[in-house]
Amino acid sequence: MRTIEYDTIVETVARLCIEACYNLEEDVLGTLQKAIARESNKQAKQILTQLIDNARIAQAERIPLCQDTGLTIIFVEQGADMAVSHPNDRPKATLFDAIQEGVAIGYERGLLRKSVVTEPLHERTNTGSNTPAIIHHSIAPGDNLHITIMAKGGGCENKSQFRMFNPTESKETVAGWIVEVVNQAGANACPPFIIGIGIGGDFEQCCLISKKALLRSLDSKHPDSFYAQMESELLATINRLNVGPQGLGGDTTALAVLIETAPCHIASLPVAVNIECHSHRHKSAVL
């Protein structure tokens, strides 16, 4: 059994939070560059260029890419043959405690905005630490610890939707609804978007895989040719909506459509659309 130091996990999570909010991923930058070359609307071209300028300023001058540094979502894949050491003063602290501590430290040290409130409907007091982060944990063979953090903005998350279809529904009907969800998100959710789609699973797994889909490289294709084709058809249809960057028109409403699927009940066809803004912030590390 391999042991990873508690403090190593804390520091890694803190670093990933900061890096995600200051450095835009290369695949996003590359996709924006390609979109500029393809875009026929002059104002849209100008906005896409400003988004690349924004990323350059963020990195060079150490200013977060966006003021909404998000709710922190953590995907952690724990090797079955690894364990976490306990800090001397807290013998009962777990992997999850280390992750939460790392988020709190990262948001403080990185001068990131704390955007989490204690409860949703009554007082809405800010927790002051951007915790609790949402942790999705899984077990894998081996003795590594894979940590991925995503800083998910509120504006785009607010426009995400879920729907249960009849299992006999066609691909075209499902696709039509997905396009309508994106159209409704429009200017409010900071286009150009990355569209994460979950198809299958149950109520909560469907939403979870729609978010996990966002972690794929924007250049990647679904391994199943049926869904790969659906991704490219959806992207083409969405980019004909003329929502455009910032909702001001143009050929670039989405940068990528990414589908994840899961087995589901014979009676069900759940579909979730997780809208992600162009400021697509995520970083991973393997310990």
Partner 1 sequence: MSKEIQIETPLTDGQIDTLRAGDQVRINGIFYTARDQAHKRLCALIETGQELPVDLSGQVIYFVGPTPAAPGRCIGSAGPTTSSRMDAFSPILIRAGLKGMIGKGYRGEPVRKALQQYKAVHFATLGGAGALLSKHIIDAEIVAYEDLGAEAIRRLYLKDFPAVVAYDAFGGTVYDR
Q: Does 148 bind partner 1 (CB under 8 A)?
A: no
Q: Does 240 bind partner 1 (CB under 8 A)?
A: no
Q: Which residues pair with 83 in a beta bridge?
A: 3
Q: Which residues pair with 2 in a beta bridge?
A: 82
Question: At residue 192, what is the residue type?
Answer: P
Q: Does 131 bind partner 1 (CB under 8 A)?
A: no
168-207: which residues touch partner 1 (CB under 8 A)?
Answer: 186-190
Q: Does 238 bind partner 1 (CB under 8 A)?
A: no
Cβ atoms within 10 A of the Cβ of 212, count?
21
- CB of residue 215 to partner 1, shortest distance in Å: 19
Give the separation between CA 46 and CA 241, rounded to whole angstroms: 19
Tell which one of 28, 36, 64, 230 touches partner 1 (CB under 8 A): 64
Q: What angle do CA 117, 282, 259 make, to 5 degrees?
A: 100
Tell which one of 4, 35, 58, 275 touches partner 1 (CB under 8 A): 58
Give the separation between CA 215 and CA 77, rounded to whole angstroms: 14
How many residues touch partner 1 (CB under 8 A)?
46
- CB of residue 106 to partner 1, shortest distance in Å: 13
Stretch that binds partner 1, among 85-93, 137-145, 149-157, 232-240 (CB under 8 A): 149-157
Q: Contact at 8 Å (CB) between 126 and 114?
A: yes
Q: Contact at 8 Å (CB) between 4 and 145?
A: yes
Tell which one of 61, 89, 119, 172 touches partner 1 (CB under 8 A): 61
Q: What is the DSSP secondary structure assignment for residue 120, as one 8-state letter?
A: S
Give the separation between CA 135 and CA 102, rounded to whole angstroms: 12
Backbone dihedral angles phi then psi of residue 74, each to the nearest 5 degrees: -120, 125
210-229: which residues touch partner 1 (CB under 8 A)?
Answer: none
Q: Does 247 bind partner 1 (CB under 8 A)?
A: yes
Q: Does 111 bind partner 1 (CB under 8 A)?
A: yes
Give the residues lining the site for partner 1 (CB under 8 A): 42-43, 46-47, 50-51, 53-55, 57-58, 61-69, 111-115, 124, 126, 128, 153-155, 158, 186-190, 242-243, 246-249, 277-279
